Structure formats: C-alpha cells, structure tokens
Chains A and B, each alone.
Chain A
Amino acid sequence: MLTPARGIVRFQPASDQSLIIYFGDEITIAAHQQVIRLLRLLETEPVAGIRNLNPGYCSLLISFDGLHLQHSDVEEILRPYIQRLDEVRLPEPRKVEIPVCYGNEYGPDLNDVAAFHGMTAEQVVNLHASVIYVVYFLGFVPGFAYLGGLRKELSTPRLPAPRPRVPRGSVGIAGEQTGVYPLATPGGWRLIGQTPIDMFRPEREEMSVLKIGDQVRFMPISPDKFAALKSQ
C-alpha cells in the first residue's frame, strides 16, 4: 500500500493472533511519528478485538482475538485508520530532564567507555549530556525507553557478557543506543551513570516517567545531589 507522502506501509502476519505494520524499514523520525499517530488513533478510537499494541522504531505490532478476527479482517479495519494518519495532530513533545550522577560507583563503565574512544571521562559526560534524545518507544521491561540521538562518537559495543543484575536507574550505552534501566534486571549495556529518579512507579497514576515521543535531556549532578534526590 502506498501513501505518497509517507512511503510504503506493509502488513505482515506475526503469529496466528497478531500482525505487524511496518512504516518503511529505516529508523527515521517520519516513520516514528507515523507509529505514534496510529497508536494515538487506536487509543482514541479502539477496535473491538484488538488486545495489545507494541510499538517499535518504525513498526507497530497489533495483537488481536483470533477467535473473532483473522489477519485479513484486521488489515481491512486498519486501512482506513492508516489513510487518516495525516489528519492526526500530534501534541508538542514533552520535554523531560533526567538528573544523572556520572562515573564512579554510579557508572562503573564510564572510564572504559572513555578509554575506548580515547577521550576523558569528562568529555564522555559532556557529549552524553549535550544532546536532546527522542523516546522512540518503550519496550524490553516496564518503563524502559529506547532513546534515539546518541552522538556517533559515543557508540560503544555491549559488554562481552551481560551483568546478572544492573542496579535500577542505571544509564547505559549499547551501540548507538542509550537508555535508563527502570528496574534492576540483567543487562549488557555499558553503564556510565545512574539517576536517582524512579523511572517506573507502579503506585502512581502516570507510572512511567517517559513515554513515546518525549524529548529527553540528561542533567549531570553531584553525588550529594544524587543522595538528596534519592531520599525525597
């Protein structure tokens, strides 16, 4: 299916109760915005029998009730939604600042990352904190945001073997991605810092600090400030 301004939209069955819609096959802001538009449209005008939506960089996985719908039904229902995407007004992105204490026990891999790039730790911190990142989607575990925009100079391979437990709030780098671990989980990203903020708070109405489409900036803080924010 071709929508001239936005490129090719492709439907692909994923399982007997799901299909995936691709907005092209590249990570671009245009594709990302189409994902957000479809997500928003399906949230405001839900379809009976659609059970779950899983956004990716340039795709949306749609899970449905296979007792009542099959792939062709869902495709037929969704085509008019996709034709209307250009009408969907996206709100101005929220701007979120995340305080991060870099290095030492907060970011045990900061020196290795600096050495890998032939930089000082301070240069790594400055580069990491100088960019506005975009939340492409949340995935992996609750509240984990896939951020786009890491400076290419900071692109660093994953650890050869993942840590069995990464402390919650850890800020890491893997390839050209950066992100914050909202919960203590296993993980193979290089840890350069930690935020005292709870990124996922199940007791609050707005559980996740970040959501799809947000613009994020990391603010370097001192260990004292970290302790003060942590105790709040």
Chain B
Amino acid sequence: MSVIEVLAPGLLTTVQDLGRPGFGPMGVSAAGAADPLALQIGNRLVDNARGAAALEMTLLGGSFRFPEGAVVALAGSDFGPLLDDIPIEMWALIKLGPGQTLKLGPSRSGARCYLCVRGGIAAGMFLGSASTDVLSGLGGYNGRPLRKGDVLNIGETEGPFRKAALGSEALKKLSPRKVLRLTPGPQSDWFPESSQQLFYGNSYRVSEESNRMGLRLKGPPVLAGAGGGMITEGVSLGAIQIPEGGQPIILFVEQQTTGGYPKIANVISADLSSVGQLRPRDEVRFEKVSWEMARAALREQEALLSADALISG
C-alpha cells in the first residue's frame, strides 16, 4: 500500500470527505469538507469517486513526502504548491514520482486547499465517513488534525494515468462568493424590519475565533424584537444565529446539532462552499433570495459538478 509521510502538518490539516449526515438523533454532527465543491472537483481530477477522502488544509499548507509516488490534484484556494521546490498548477492532475515532496505554503486566496490523491486517503471510518470531527475527536486520522511524522495510507488504485485539468470557464463559475445568498431562517420574523435592513445593508467581518464549528461575524449588532423565549431546537447547516449582543454566527460543518439562539437566515446550499473559503478578517455581505432561486442555484451547481465537460484532457 502506498503512503503519505507528513513532514510538516500546516496550520490545521484534517482528513475530510462529504461527512456523515443522518446521526442527528445521537447528537452527531455531519462534519465533512468545508468546501465540498473543491473536494469533489479535486476527486474528479484524479478519477476518484466524488466523495473520496482527501486532506483539507487551512490557511497554511503542509509538506508531504510520497515514498512510492502518487497521482494528486490540488483544489480550492491557491496555497502556492511546490513539487520538489518547483511551482505546480492548482486544479490539475499531477503525477509524483517515488520519493517526491509536495510542499504548500500560506494561502494566496481563501481559507482552504484540498490535496486529493488517486485512490483516496484510507482513514478510519466512523459512522460511514472518514471525516475528522475535530471537536469530538472522532473519525479521520485518529480523530485529530495531522502532526509531523504521521503516515497515511492511500487507497488502492488501478487504471492508466491520463492528463486532466479543469476548464477555465468552470473555474470562473466556481470562484467563491463574497456576497452570500440567504433564505429566511425559522425565526426571521422575530427580527423587526429595522434589524433586517441593518443585517442585509451592511458588511460583516469574519472574526479570528471562527472555525469548522462556526464563523463568528463582527459588525452592526442585529437585535431581535421583544418576545423571544427561544426553545432549543435542531439547527441546519449554514444557519445564521443571533446570540445576545447581536453579532451573527454562521453555523458550519462541525456545528452543534441543536441550538438555543434565534436564526435570522440561512446560507443557501450552493453558497456553503464559499463559506468554507472565508478567512478571518474577510468581509462578507448578504443578499436575500427566493426559495426558487436557492433551488435553481443548487441544481446549477450539481449540473456543473457532474458534467463530463468539467474536466478537460
């Protein structure tokens, strides 16, 4: 079996796939890649199943040695990849010879970059997924972010190597959005018109305390009207909850499964990948869209992801 040796882990590198939805009754969060779009495209480039496990790097990438070589692709934000110190392309299939080293640096664009390896990362499965749940210490590589000296197994592969890259048209369509599209949350009518205008009319800054559980935003406080008496309930991925004080929190992939704060809105599914590319200090704005528009965006994204034309030879 081929392996990957971790020479340097980077800031926060974990094994991720498309997560483990379906265990809400046990309080288990779905987890999964923060930018599932990048993960799936990276996997398509190396001819894996779309949801194969890969390495998710955050803000600062790591260094990885491949003693037996491998076929890889880098997807997501540009972390300045080097192959034995020579720059290589993002969003393209790269063949590594035995003993070669892949080195990534600080991000030049968004928060996350995926290292997809042909055959996938063969990591510990927990409830049907290899995704690392960092907070709970479950799944992935021993339930934790990678450290120097870790050795990961690569899944079995077969078949010929063929050159592949992402069409530039597709790349443009997939670039992360800084204006997130939202639909109303279950408690949006708790917020008076003045609060709604403030929320949709201003930009918010992503705070340093953001992580895979949630993104804390800073900006003009959004205040709920009188009433309240929120009873803890299940929360959906991308929900924007407003705690006391009015600073919004976007609940993200490792979110707690229930919450007791009112939710003014929810990021549409098609824009969740863009949330995964937000860095601390980035600014975001919000745009309210219809349910129909949210569904159309999801269908469009899926069509793009599954299209044969996505990958060019």
Contacts and interface: CB of A to CB of B under 8 A. Distances in A.
Contacts of B267: 15
A55 B236 contact: no
B207 to A, nearest CB: 16
A25 B22 CA distance: 25
A228 B302 CA distance: 55
Given A14-B236, A15-B239, A56 B231 contact: yes
A140 B302 contact: no
Given A14-B239, A202-B126, A202-B138, A56 B21 contact: no
Contacts of A139: 27, 232, 234, 256-258
A104 interface: no
A97 B301 CA distance: 50
Interface string A123-146: 000000000000001111111101
A140 B118 CA distance: 35
B25 interface: yes
A14 B268 CA distance: 11
A140 B259 CA distance: 7
A192 interface: no
Interface footprint category on A:
35 or more
A170 interface: no
Interface in A189-213: 202, 207-208, 211-212
Contact of A142 (B28, B185, B233, B268): B28
Given A60-B234, A63-B236, A71-B291, A55 B298 contact: no
A120 interface: no
Given A142-B28, A143-B27, A67 B233 contact: no
A166 interface: no
Contacts of A39: 25
A153 B294 CA distance: 48
B186 interface: yes
Contacts of B295: 16, 66, 70
A14 B27 contact: no
The number of chain B residues touching the other chain, given as a range, is 35 or more
B236 A142 contact: no
A59 interface: yes
A68 B126 CA distance: 27
Contacts, number: 140
B160 to A, nearest CB: 32
A218 interface: no
A67 B299 CA distance: 6
A61 B234 contact: yes
The residue in B135, B136, B263 that gathers the most chain A C-beta atoms within 10 A of its C-beta is B136
A18 interface: yes
A52 B21 CA distance: 6
A27 interface: yes
Given A15-B266, A16-B269, A183 B137 contact: yes
B221 to A, nearest CB: 20
B66 to A, nearest CB: 30
A140 B233 contact: no
Contacts of B30: 52
Contacts of B294: 16, 66
Given A51-B22, A143-B26, A144-B27, A20 B186 contact: yes
B184 interface: yes
B291 A16 contact: yes
Interface in B13-42: 21-30
A142 B232 contact: no
A66 B27 contact: no
A12 B236 CA distance: 12
A204 to B, nearest CB: 12
A18 B251 CA distance: 14
B152 to A, nearest CB: 20
Given A52-B30, A183-B136, A212 B183 contact: no
A156 B257 CA distance: 24
B29 to A, nearest CB: 8
Contacts of B291: 13, 16, 70-71
Interface of A: 12-18, 20, 25-27, 39, 51-61, 63, 66-67, 70-71, 137-144, 146, 183, 185, 202, 207-208, 211-212
17 contacts: A12-B186, A14-B186, A14-B235, A15-B268, A20-B233, A52-B23, A61-B234, A63-B21, A63-B236, A66-B269, A66-B294, A67-B299, A138-B257, A140-B258, A141-B135, A142-B23, A144-B27
The 8 A-B pairs with the shortest beta carbon distances in the complex, nearest first, are A54-B234, A61-B234, A139-B258, A56-B233, A54-B24, A16-B294, A138-B27, A15-B266
